[in-house]
Structure 1
């Protein structure tokens, strides 16, 4: 935020950037499938070749005529023969393309899958924006982060696909909202903090849960929780994402009438 820009103007730019990001050519709305792979070669609906998981990578038996190319080296020609694609958890992940499709290998808890992003996805075509509550400065409050004394923890929580998976958390933020004191469990993402929350609006006035992101805390743990920027998780835009549900204690008893509410379709 620039010196001359108000908090409301900064929030407005944020909402516009959010809508642009989720509706981008290969943004969340373009995800049409997450295909989990086993050790035996198999066909993925709508894609040529055979795909499987082996030795921590996604394997593909391709022919040049299929037209599948590495996204980072499309000019090198189409893939031919048996090739490996490193997943998103690898320090040097690899993605492929097939025409306008983007093919993204992912790894979650040792399991490998291929995600397919299609710019012609019906959800992307139907997108008409993100419904938000009006900006209100009272929803931005001071918070203090305290890391867990024992270090990061892994809490097992349900995910949007029905499975339970560990969620890495690093501590809690404490804050006062509407005259009451609260605490939320959060994770550290780079220097910033992030969390998964629900409140009294979840599941009817808003999506069933939302994500929050906080600036990196200072040396004393001070940061800001701005619930005007509570945002929809990826699974609100496509069913094929596997978002974590809020961990225990992260359901606020009050109605947080701030931030993103629902996806709007035309």
Structure 2
């Protein structure tokens, strides 16, 4: 498969994911609960934290039944789906609704044409003992272990990219550049292929993708750390969500 065909297949899979019935565009609300039962818009009953990482719903229907959700368990009322969201030990109830207008009218993800010139060679410097403070879009901060830094050149200028390792493995970064808020969303995510044993790697900005909060403001995405905010314009990867009529 050619470079362009490979990118097109990736982009098509991203659009399928974004517009899926219970994909990111369907997130209707993120509800930060306490131990006192409270109503949640769009779903029956009263909802509260169990105190051990779960969420309990009470007074559900005429029988007044009770349910408890933990981990990856889900529950549906009509077409709405309830999921547990755990952010570093703080638990919320998320409601996904396929009828949310932003999902119903999702059309595509606008992106720059793929160009091999945006696939840049890099050198990986592991930093296993380093931690940085990550700030989310809602202002909440938490510490994260830094997997390392990638050193590369952009328009002839030396740059670094701070990367972390996901819970399921694989490296990733959050970055900003001069196109944000003008040509692209306010920041973007970037997956990084695993570096070689010798430390060689690639920074492929063609695979820069929109964070979940581009599809719903109910996500709490991490913002780029200071070192990952570039003054240059990176015209590669995904740009913005396109909504149809």
Structure 2 CA distance for aligned equivalents of residues 166 and 65 of structure 1: 45
Gaps of 5+ in 1: 67-79, 88-92
Q: 1:65: how far off? A: 5.2
Q: Secondary structure at the match of 1:204?
A: coil
Q: How far is the alpha carbon of 1:212 from its aligned partner?
A: 0.2
Q: Report the CA distance between 1:149 and its aligned residue.
A: 4.9
Deviates more, 1:139-148 or 1:166-175: 166-175
Indicate if the aligned counterparts of 1:161 and 1:241 stay in contact, CA closer than 8 A: no
Q: C-alpha separation between the residues in 1 aligned to 2:122 and 2:45? A: 52
TM-superposition CA deviations, 1:203-259 (whole Å, max 9, x none): 211111000001122212222211011011000000000001001210122110101
Match of 1:107 among 77, 86, 109: 86
Q: Is 1:58 aligned with 2:55?
A: yes
Deviation at 1:25, TM superposition (A): 0.3
Instruction: Work out the CA distance in 1 between the residues paired with 2:40 and 2:9.
Output: 39
Quick check: 1:81 aligned with 2:65? yes
Q: Which one is further off, 52-61 or 20-29? A: 52-61
CA contact (8 A) 2:38 2:48 kept: yes
Listed one character per residue, the Cα deviations across residues 80-108 of structure 1 (whole Å, up to 9, x for unaligned) are 73332113xxxxx2111112211111111
1:62 to partner: Cα distance: 4.7
Partner of 1:142: 121
Partner residue in 1 for 2:106: 127
TM-score, length-scaled by structure 2: 0.93
Alignment length (residue pairs): 242
Deviations 1:109-166 (A, max 9, x none): 321111111111100112121111111110001222222152x52x223322233333
Residue 76 of structure 2 is matched in structure 1 by 97
**Of 216, 219, 223, which residue of structure 1 is paired with 2:194?**
216
Q: Does 1:185 align with 2:182?
A: no
Residues 242 and 149 (structure 1), Cα distance of their counterparts in 2 relative to 1, 3 Å cut = closer
In the alignment, does 2:242 pair up with 1:246?
Answer: no
In the aligned structure 1, how far is the partner of 2:57 from the partner of 2:12?
Answer: 38
Question: Are the equivalent residues in 2 in contact too, given 1:201–1:256 (CA < 8 A)?
Answer: yes
1:72 match: none
1:50 shift after superposition: 1.2
Cα gap change, 1:25/1:149 in structure 2, threshold over 3 Å: closer, same or farther? closer
Matches within 5 A, 1:14-25: 14-25=10-21
> Residue 30 of structure 1: CA displacement?
0.5
